[in-house]
Each structure stands twice: as structure tokens, then as C-alpha cells.
């Protein structure tokens, strides 16, 4: 675990098993907003911090085993794709 200067959590890496890990990163704000949560298979999400209105999460990327989607600040899908199964 790594912390910001004010002792709030910045990054956590959890060892689930010797072959499984979970990675999380947080904003240095009062709520400790999660910016990133992803596992060893690149399944998880990443988003920008809150919008200027502070009522909505910013742009978000969600990763799954088959692909990913990018949504805008209103939750509308902007891009989506599938991973190349052949690894190219």
C-alpha cells in the first residue's frame, strides 16, 4: 500500500493468490474516490475524477475479458472494441 503525504491511500496491490493480483488507485479527496480497479487479466475499470459539476464521474473505461468500452461523462458509449483473440 502506498499513501499520499496526508496518509490517505493512493495505491493498493492485493495478492489474492500467487498468480492473482488486484490493483486499485485512489484520488486524494475526502471520499478516497477509486480511479482504477483492475486485475491480472486487465479486467476492471478506470475513470477520470469527477466532472466540474462534481455530481458525475468523468470519462470511464471498462475492461472485460472480451473487450472494453469508453463512456462519456453522461454514461453514453463513445467507443467499444473486442480484444484480438490471436494476440496481435
* pLDDT at residue 38, rounded to an integer: 95
Count of domains for the chain: 1
Answer yes or no: is pLDDT of 66 > 60. Answer: yes
- Judge whether 63 lies within some domain: yes
Question: Residue 81: how many CA atoms within 13 Å on its side-chain side?
Answer: 6
- Judge whether 53 lies within some domain: yes
Q: Please enumerate in sequence order all residues whose Cβ is within 8 A of that of 58, keeping only pairs 6 or more positions apart, or say none.
A: 47, 48, 49, 50, 51, 73
Predicted confidence (pLDDT) per residue in 5-62, tens digit? 998 889 999 999 988 999 999 988 888 888 999 999 889 999 886 655 556 667 889 9
User: Which residues span the domain enclosing 37?
Assistant: 2-82
Q: The whole model's pTM is what?
A: 0.74
- Judge whether 15 lies within some domain: yes
- Judge whether 88 lies within some domain: no
Q: Higher model confidence: residue 87 or residue 23?
A: 23
- Judge whether 52 lies within some domain: yes
Radius of gyration of the chain (CA): 15
The alpha carbon of residue 85 and the mean position of all alpha carbons in its chain are separated, in whole angstroms, by: 23
Query: What does the chain come to in residues?
Result: 88
Amino acid at each position: 500500500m502506498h499513501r499520499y503525504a496526508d496518509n490517505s491511500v493512493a495505491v493498493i496491490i492485493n495478492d489474492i493468490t500467487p498468480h492473482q493480483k488486484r490493483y486499485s488507485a485512489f484520488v486524494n479527496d475526502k471520499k478516497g474516490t477509486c480511479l482504477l480497479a483492475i486485475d491480472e487479466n486487465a479486467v476492471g475499470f478506470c475513470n477520470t475524477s469527477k466532472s466540474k459539476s462534481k455530481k458525475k464521474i468523468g470519462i470511464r473505461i471498462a475492461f472485460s475479458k472480451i473487450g472494453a468500452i469508453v463512456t462519456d461523462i453522461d454514461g453514453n458509449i463513445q467507443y467499444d472494441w473486442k480484444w484480438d483473440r490471436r494476440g496481435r
